[in-house]
Copies of this chain bind each other. A is one copy, B any other.
Amino acid sequence: MMTKSDVTTMIRAAKREKGIGWAAIAEEVGLSEVFVTSACLGMNSLLPDAAGKLVDFLGLPAEAAVVLSEYPTKTFAQTVPTDPCIYRWYEITGVFGEAFKELVQEKFGDGIMSAIDFDMQINRVAHEKGDRVEVVMSGKFLPYKSW
């Protein structure tokens, strides 16, 4: 039975062989880079139509589209991520998490930023002292309420 992990391997193999980047895949599928990449890595699902486009574009078997459209179980094996690129984000959570909470509360009242009704863009911003990674996240504010 083909798994999401199998499909991720197929996509990586097709990328290596064809020299295709995530941007091209996202454009073909018609969705944002972040979302399509995360779906290809097994952390989100694609609607059947989008999954079909992706599978056609990369020349994968039809069952791969079924697998890509199944709802994933989001599993992250490392409690503290070790890859430096990902760890830095964990570090930002630790260093700025309480300040983030303080400001969300001040601006919105008690509640949280949703991680479900959520989107994210990653941009390259030119800068004279070295280009910068810009991340823009947007999540719906969900207020606590009493009952």
Interface residues of A in 119-147 (CB under 8 A from B): 119-120, 122, 124-125, 127, 129-147
Contact at B82–A100, with CB atoms within 8 Å?
A: no
In the complex, residue of chain B having the shortest beta-carbon distance to the beta carbon of A12: B1
Contact at B133–A104, with CB atoms within 8 Å?
A: yes
Does A47 make an interface contact (CB < 8 A)? Answer: yes
Does A59 make an interface contact (CB < 8 A)? Answer: no
Number of interface residues of A (CB under 8 A): 96
Smallest distance from the beta carbon of A22 to chain B beta carbons, Å?
5
Contact at B133–A135, with CB atoms within 8 Å?
A: no
In the complex, residue of chain B having the shortest beta-carbon distance to the beta carbon of A123: B107
* Known A75-B78, A135-B137, A136-B135: A146·B112 in contact at CB below 8 Å: no
* Known A101-B73, A107-B124, A146-B46: A38·B87 in contact at CB below 8 Å: no
Interface residues in chain A, defined as those with a beta carbon under 8 Å from any beta carbon in chain B: 1, 9, 12-13, 16, 21-23, 31-35, 37-39, 41, 43-47, 50, 66, 70-71, 73-76, 78-120, 122, 124-125, 127, 129-147
Given contacts A82-B91, A84-B112, A87-B91, 4 further A-B contacts (CB under 8 A): A23-B106, A84-B115, A117-B142, A135-B138
